Homo-oligomer: A and B are copies of this chain.
Amino acid sequence: MDVSTPSAVNGHAPAAKAATIRDVAERAQVSVASVSRVLNGSDAITESTRRRVLDAVEYLRYVPHVGARSLSTSRTDTIGVILPDLYGEFFSELIRGMDLAARAHGKHLIVSSSHGDTEETLAALRSMRGRVDGMIVLSPHLRAANLAADVAGRMPVVLMNGGLDEAGRPSIAIDNHGAAVTAVEHLRATGRRRIAHIRGAAGNLEADIRAEGYASALVDQEPIIVEGDFTQAAGHRAATRLLALDQRPDAVFAANDMMALGAMLAFQEAGVRCPEDVAVIGFDDVPLAALVRPTLTTLRVNIAEMGRRGVERLIGLVQAGPNGAPDSACEIVRPLLVERQSTAAAETAGSTTVNPTAQPL
């Protein structure tokens, strides 16, 4: 072994400067056009030419300059994602699903967050122009989302906010209304007759729709709604208020899992048993839901799957081009009811020994 440099070991060029397509052409003794053709697999190429080009590419560690490519093809193979925030499990899952789908299609992902601010959403959007082929915008506020779609101009945009009525823009939304109905019906099916709702922050689209769905599904009872803000602490406070009512509810539908957990904790502290005395159902199916005792019944939203669908939808729009069939459909994601211990039927709940802390894994 008398090799002296790493380059020599791998048989690579020293490459002080990144190689260009011309360097490759020169080394392979062909024209730049042939190199381009080999790399894009577009045209007829002799096997010997192909081999020489690929060898040169390998030797020079040639990687096409994306800027130059995007300049001549006006494509970037990149998708922009604007999120209201990057905080928490939800967005992490979403990005994961998007990344999976994007990589499957050879696309890249640029992420940016708007911190819930409409102005920042627009700024992020503008700065992505020309950098991406299309965008996915999540915004809890309908106005910001629609505005964003306007600013984007001819760039394809897929909206993913809670609202269903996107006024004819391509979008993906959770069936919040239907899921809320499912939750209430499940509670009734397990024998509950006084069902309360802990709702999400006022003004949040998803919170509004879930509360509305809850109210619409009630039978023989008035709505019992207490305000929350999606945090565990809010769920705890809300449950405390429910316990103070003259007629206590025998079931609670919380607008998300974290509030459901807070409520369950409040019930435990007050000596109210779950599910015997009160059933609790959440929304989301965060990992924690399966880990607490009693395990939490909830409506599972496959977030990663939603991300995947968003990306594939967008890629479809990009490929269709501005002349493609106008796509204004709103794709609906239906949450799945996941039955666990927290809503075990009222009549059987008493018989089985459900010890909240001593369940095996």
Q: How far is the CA of A113 from the CA of B304 in the complex (A)?
A: 14
The verdict on A127 contacting chain B, using a C-beta distance below 8 Å, is yes
Complex interface: chain B residues within 8 A of A6 (CB): 150
Decide: B232 and A63 in contact? CB cutoff 8 A.
no
A236 in contact with B288 (CB, 8 Å): no
**In the complex, A126 Cα to B63 Cα: how many Å?**
8
A129: B residues at CB distance < 8 A: 18, 63
Task: Choose from B85, B110, B268, B360 the contact partner of A108 (Cβ within 8 Å).
Answer: B110
| Interfacial residues of chain A within 313-361, with CB under 8 A of chain B in the complex | 356-361
> Of residues 241 to 265 in A, which have CB atoms within 8 Å of B's CB atoms?
261-262, 265
Least CB distance from A304 to B in Å reads: 9
Q: Which residue of B lies closest to A103 (CB)?
A: B112
Known A15-B153, A99-B113, A108-B110; 17 more pairs at CB < 8 Å: A6-B150, A61-B153, A63-B126, A65-B71, A71-B71, A78-B110, A86-B92, A86-B95, A88-B89, A99-B112, A103-B113, A108-B112, A108-B127, A111-B111, A262-B361, A265-B361, A268-B358
User: Is the beta-carbon distance between A66 and B67 smaller than 8 angstroms?
Assistant: yes
C-alpha gap A6/B60 in the complex (Å): 51
Q: What residues of B have a CB within 8 angstroms of the CB of A67 in the complex?
A: 66-71, 76, 130
What CA separation (Å) do A215 and B262 show in the bound complex?
38
Residue numbers in B under 8 Å from A358 (CB-CB) = 268-269
The answer to whether A11 has its CB under 8 Å from any CB of chain B is: no
CB closest residue in chain B, given A288: B288
Looking at the complex, which one of B18, B86, B108, B109 makes contact with A96 (CB distance below 8 Å)?
B86
A88 touches B92 (CB 8 A): yes
A153 to B14, CA, bound (A): 10
CA distance A356 to B261 in the complex (A): 16
Evaluate contact between A130 and B99: CB separation under 8 angstroms: no
Tell me whether A86 and B99 are in contact in the complex, defined as CB-CB below 8 angstroms, given that A153-B18, A291-B232 are known contacts: yes
Q: Mark A288-317, 1 if CB is under 8 A from B, else 0.
A: 100100000000000000000000000000
**B71 engages A361 (CB within 8 Å):** no
With A and B bound together, what is the CA distance between A104 and B261 in angstroms? 36
- CB A318 to nearest CB in B, in angstroms, measures 15
Known: A86-B96, A96-B87, A99-B113. A65 touches B130 (CB 8 A): yes
Ranked 10 nearest A-B pairs via Cβ: A92-B92, A67-B70, A86-B96, A67-B67, A63-B129, A67-B71, A66-B131, A65-B130, A236-B361, A269-B358
User: CA of A208 to CA of B68 in the docked complex: distance in angstroms?
Assistant: 45
Smallest CB-CB separation from A236: which chain B residue? B361
- Contact check: which of B85, B109, B288 meets A112 at CB < 8 Å? B109
Interface: A59 (CB within 8 A): no
Chain A residues numbered 99-134 whose CB sits less than 8 Å from any CB in chain B = 99, 103, 108-113, 126-131
A99-B113, A110-B109 known; A87+B76 contact, CB < 8 A = no
